[in-house]
């Protein structure tokens, strides 16, 4: 693709030779002839002076850069759009394998079902979906258009999935919630989990994640929310739209996560809590009470980040005093 | 089901109209006509005054509640029992799919094997079991009666599973323990793991959990113990009966967990330790030494909860002093 | 196997009856007639005086021990080697099941492919590999010789796997990296992940682990590195040779882990950091800045272990002072 065409498609202003042919995207260090890269942060601008990339996306012109430049407001976002142009998603010709087992399903046109997929009864799958091998789709599941369901995924009974949803390999959607009542002799009686999971449009769920279905009503993942791998979501949880849940996060039952919330890696949220819109929870933090909107919480128990930072400083001061008093 | 019948089955005392027809269970806020709910905690008693539920389970009569009431000692436990009456587990007609691969197995009557299940040789499966698609059962595995083995589960060689065991989708039972010896040049030599996993009666294992088999003898999960999702159990671990292991817990090799122990979410136990009967480990805590029976331990390293609480208070006091001294 | 033969094979010096027949290995407490055990630590030497084992491996002769003894420099390593002699890995006769789906693959001689395995196009698999049921191998994957790919594993497009690699059940190799750019309205645009995963020789990956493929180039796991279960590796990560990653560890994107590094259970490493050769990260620790070679880091944020220990002591002293002042 000509750089001038690419620049126009991502809405950037071209500086330099627009006729250069761009074949691929790469990191600033690795990019070479025919490759596009980007400079997202000012600290990387110096690196641009020695790049071998054919072109780079920048927030403002970099003097002395040997590559052609495309100026755009958010180079990282521009780069994401450019990559979608340069590396469009794989296409899978429509075909329902006769080595798949389909009990009773309504599958939209253009969809692909690979061998060894299992699809139960009263299932509805939209158009242009891809169902990879070893996917298990239980009875009464509904899936929208343009979904990618990768290998070894389990979608349990009654789950509802929107459009353009991506389920990475091995994730489990709609498994039984963890609900037991204790008898006086200490035995645990299983509480039937008769609800469902609802996944809205444009959600991506990472590999080997688990999302339990609700006890009665629904566990819901809002539109545009993106999960990394190995994330756990308990029953009855409600997650808003456009959230980021980084790897190995755990959300306990009935918690309510707002919109545009970021949960960093290995953090956890206790049951029945609320996290406000736009809040950020630090890595490894454990949330044990409600978090107000737009706050950054860190630590265990999680607290406002500035309090946590102050504690770290106070601790280091005490240790230093200890060391000095020993001398 | 008539409320009077339901009340009798769960051993509760009826207040109000016993002829009302109960079709389903729901939460107190969501329950409507024909639905049963419960009030487990006193803080929720006020909500019962405006419920639209047809009937509720209570620990003692709530004056002014519009719904019929069933008084029982433990409403949550009563509710669990009521749900089992109202929402009995799905039934699967006995059938061995000819699209399953069964090398050499003795399968009891009433069992169901779905397409694409793989069952190795010298396998014994009891009566009324359900083996979902894409389950892998290796050689020399024994499974009792009335087990539910959900999709994509792996049961490795020599595993022994009791009766009424539920394995949620994608869990891995009997994978190789993590055992290596270090050569002088830094290479790790794999130690063959020739033991097995034993899972006793009435155990439930959550989605995508991993339980490694023992180096020599057995990794054992005691009867009635319930695992949430994504729990890790190392080789040679012994877990007692009626324990609760919440999501993302990790137990390192050769640890010994007593009976009726609760491990809250994302907590961990180091190798070779003992946790006494009835102990509780707080969320995200890391146990680095033995825990006595009936104690509550929290933090990292885990310590008695009252010590941990005192530390939190002391830290907050120091931070406050710091802030004041800066003014 | 005669003890004298075994002693010679592992390079140990025999004390006692070399004609005793050794059939199996066991722990010191459980070993009986015909069984071999070992004494790795001095604290266990007393136990050797009452062992029923036929023979034990020791670092130096134990007076009064009833069993035959084999003296070797590193009894644990010797034991690993002895176990490999006594319990050689299972052998799988070469056979390509006609119930597997193989689109277009070059499979070396001596390999076994079980029913319900799916192998895509342009795939190359070496000699003497075993591909278990429900394995998914995407297009353009290369696998070396003598690999064991256990059940329900997913190997995504373009992954390169070396020789003697073991993938435990349910691990996911080469899934999409977690990369998104944020639009001004809060929506996340998926950045195509067009790189690959490279796994070098003699690596073992535990059950239900996830290793994401790189954005552009490669995520690489160095030779001889061993993963426990449920480990997460983000895109673009580079891990050196002979590392140990214990269960539930998480490595964020673009981190660089040196050689011979140990990451204890449930620890985490933030993105773009470097961990030096020979470093050890404590259990549950969270690394938030670079770690120098050969250091032991603990805590969150992770710090040199001696500083962390001093903090623990200082905290306990403060709590004690608090308690005393209250009396």
C318 contacts in chain A (CB < 8 Å): 318
Residues 105-124 of chain A with CB under 8 A from chain B are 116, 118
Taken as a whole, chain B contains a residue count of 327
Contact B268 C246 (CB under 8 A): no
B47 pLDDT more than 90:
no
Nearest to B210 among C89, C207, C318 (CB): C207
Contact A247 C270 (CB under 8 A): no
Enumerate the active-site residues of C: 235
CA B65 to each of CA B46, B216, C13: distance values in angstroms, whole numbers, following the listed order = 9, 60, 83
Residues 133-192 of chain C with CB under 8 A from chain B are 133-134, 150-152, 166, 168-170
Q: Answer whether C230 touches A (CB < 8 Å).
A: yes
Residues 57-86 of chain C with CB under 8 A from chain A are none
What per-residue confidence (pLDDT) applies to A282? 98
* pLDDT single digits (tens) A147-173: 999 999 999 999 999 999 999 999 999
Contact between C115 and C129 (Cβ < 8 Å): no
The three-class DSSP label of residue C303 is: strand
A41 pLDDT more than 80:
no
- Dihedrals phi, psi of B209, to nearest 5 degrees: -70, 160
C154 contacts in chain A (CB < 8 Å): 150-152, 169-170, 207
Mean pLDDT for all residues in chain C: 95
Most C CBs within 10 A among A35, A97, A247, A314, hence the mutation to make, goes to: A247
CA atoms of A270 and A288, how far apart (whole Å): 6
* pLDDT single digits (tens) B179-226: 999 999 999 999 999 999 999 999 999 999 999 999 999 999 999 999
Contact C83 B270 (CB under 8 A): no
Mean pLDDT for all residues in chain B: 95
Strand order through the sheet with C13-15: C13-15, C68-71, C55-58, C35-38, C24-25
Q: Answer whether C53 touches B (CB < 8 Å).
A: no
Among residues A42, A87, A188, A235, which one is catalytic? A235
What per-residue confidence (pLDDT) applies to A320? 87
At C187, list the tokens.
């929506």
Mean pLDDT of A115-142: 98
Binding partners of A (≥3 Cβ pairs within 8 A): B, C
For the purposes of burial, counting CB atoms within 10 Å of the CB of C321, is it exposed (0-12), middle (13-18) or buried (19 or more)? exposed
Percentage of chain C lying above the pLDDT 70 cut:
100
Nearest to B154 among C170, C202, C315 (CB): C170
Does the ipTM exceed 0.85?
yes
* pLDDT single digits (tens) C242-252: 999 999 999 99
Q: Answer whether B248 touches C (CB < 8 Å).
A: yes
What per-residue confidence (pLDDT) applies to B176? 98
Contact C80 B189 (CB under 8 A): yes
Mean pLDDT of A280-293: 98
Q: Answer whether A41 touches B (CB < 8 Å).
A: no
Q: Which of C279, C240, C280, C232 is nearest to C256 (CA)?
A: C240
B89 contacts in chain A (CB < 8 Å): 192
User: Three-state secondary structure along C249-295?
Assistant: CEECCCCEECCCCEECCCCEECCCCEECCCCEECCCCEECCCECCCC
Nearest to B189 among C77, C259, C283 (CB): C77
Enclosing H/E stretch for A130: strand A130-131
B99 contacts in chain A (CB < 8 Å): 101
Most B CBs within 10 A among C77, C95, C133, hence the mutation to make, goes to: C133
What per-residue confidence (pLDDT) applies to B54? 96
Nearest to B181 among C80, C116, C322 (CB): C80
Nearest to A315 among C183, C232, C311 (CB): C311
End-to-end CA distance of chain B: 68
Contact A152 C154 (CB under 8 A): yes
Give the minimum alpha-carbon distance from B218 to chain C in angstroms, rounded to a whole number: 11
The three-class DSSP label of residue B57 is: strand
* pLDDT single digits (tens) B135-174: 999 999 999 999 999 999 999 999 999 999 999 999 999 9
Least confident of A97-101, B268-272, C299-303, C311-315: C311-315
B42 pLDDT more than 80:
no
Q: Phi-psi bin for A253: left (phi > 0), alpha (psi -120 to 50), beta?
A: beta
Contact between B147 and B185 (Cβ < 8 Å): no
CA atoms of B272 and C36, how far apart (whole Å): 21
B247 pLDDT more than 90:
yes
* pLDDT single digits (tens) B269-288: 999 999 999 999 999 999 99
Nearest to B242 among A116, A188, A310 (CB): A188
Percentage of chain B lying above the pLDDT 70 cut:
100
Residues 274-303 of chain B with CB under 8 A from chain C are 286, 288, 300-301
Q: Which of A142, A179, A177, A145 is nearest to A164 (CA)?
A: A145
Q: At what angle do helices A305-326 and C305-326 cross, to 10 degrees?
A: 90
- Dihedrals phi, psi of A201, to nearest 5 degrees: -60, 150
Least confident of A213-222, B180-189, B310-319, C261-270: B310-319
CA A317 to each of CA B79, C28, C62: distance values in angstroms, whole numbers, following the listed order = 54, 48, 51
Pairing between strand B68-71 and B13-15? antiparallel
Contact C116 A116 (CB under 8 A): yes
Contact A178 B246 (CB under 8 A): yes
CA A129 to each of CA A96, A107, A124: distance values in angstroms, whole numbers, following the listed order = 11, 9, 11
Nearest to C101 among A89, A99, A226 (CB): A99
Q: Which residue of C has its CA nearest to A309?
A: C301
- With cut-offs at 50, 70 and 90, classify the pLDDT of residue A44: confident
B88-91: long-range pairs with CB below 8 Å, 24+: B88/A192, B89/A192, B90/A157
Mean pLDDT for all residues in chain A: 95
Torsion of CA C303, C316, A302, B40, to 10 degrees: 140
CA atoms of C93 and C105, how far apart (whole Å): 19
Q: Answer whether A253 touches B (CB < 8 Å).
A: no
For chains A and C, count residue pairs whose Cβ atoms are closer than 8 Å: 167
Most B CBs within 10 A among C75, C90, C229, hence the mutation to make, goes to: C229
* pLDDT single digits (tens) C23-71: 999 988 889 999 999 998 777 788 899 999 999 999 999 999 999 999 9
Q: Which residue of B has its CA nearest to C165?
A: B190
């Amino acid at each position: 693709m000509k750089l001038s065409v690419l620049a126009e498609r991502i809405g950037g202003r071209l500086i330099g030779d627009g006729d250069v042919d761009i074949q691929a995207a790469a990191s600033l260090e690795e990019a070479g002839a025919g490759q596009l890269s980007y400079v997202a942060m000012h600290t990387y601008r110096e690196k641009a002076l020695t790049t071998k990339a054919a072109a780079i996306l920048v927030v403002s012109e970099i003097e002395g850069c040997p590559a052609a430049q495309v100026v755009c407001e958010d180079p990282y976002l521009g780069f994401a759009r450019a990559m979608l142009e340069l590396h469009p998603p794989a296409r899978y010709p429509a075909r329902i394998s006769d080595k798949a087992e389909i009990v009773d399903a309504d599958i939209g046109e253009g969809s692909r079902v690979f061998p060894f997929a299992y699809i139960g009864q009263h299932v509805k799958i939209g158009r242009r979906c891809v169902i990879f091998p070893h996917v298990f789709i239980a009875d009464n599941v509904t899936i929208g258009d343009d979904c990618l369901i990768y290998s070894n995924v389990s979608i349990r009974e009654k789950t509802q999935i929107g459009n353009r949803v991506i389920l990475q390999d091995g994730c489990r959607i709609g498994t039984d919630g963890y609900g037991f009542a204790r008898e006086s002799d200490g035995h645990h009686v299983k509480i039937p989990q008769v609800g469902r999971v609802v996944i809205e449009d444009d959600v991506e769920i990472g590999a080997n994640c688990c999302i339990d279905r609700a006890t009665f009503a629904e566990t819901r993942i809002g539109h545009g929310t993106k999960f990394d791998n190995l994330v756990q979501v308990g029953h009855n949880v409600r997650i808003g739209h456009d959230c980021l849940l980084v790897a190995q996060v755990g959300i306990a039952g009935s918690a309510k996560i707002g919109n545009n919330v970021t949960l960093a890696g290995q953090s956890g949220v206790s049951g029945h809590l609320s996290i406000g819109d736009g809040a950020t929870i630090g890595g490894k933090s454990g949330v044990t009470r409600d978090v107000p909107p737009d706050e950054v919480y860190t630590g265990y128990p999680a607290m406002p980040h500035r309090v946590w930072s102050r504690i770290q400083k106070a601790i280091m001061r005490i240790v230093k005093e200890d060391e000095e008093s020993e001398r």
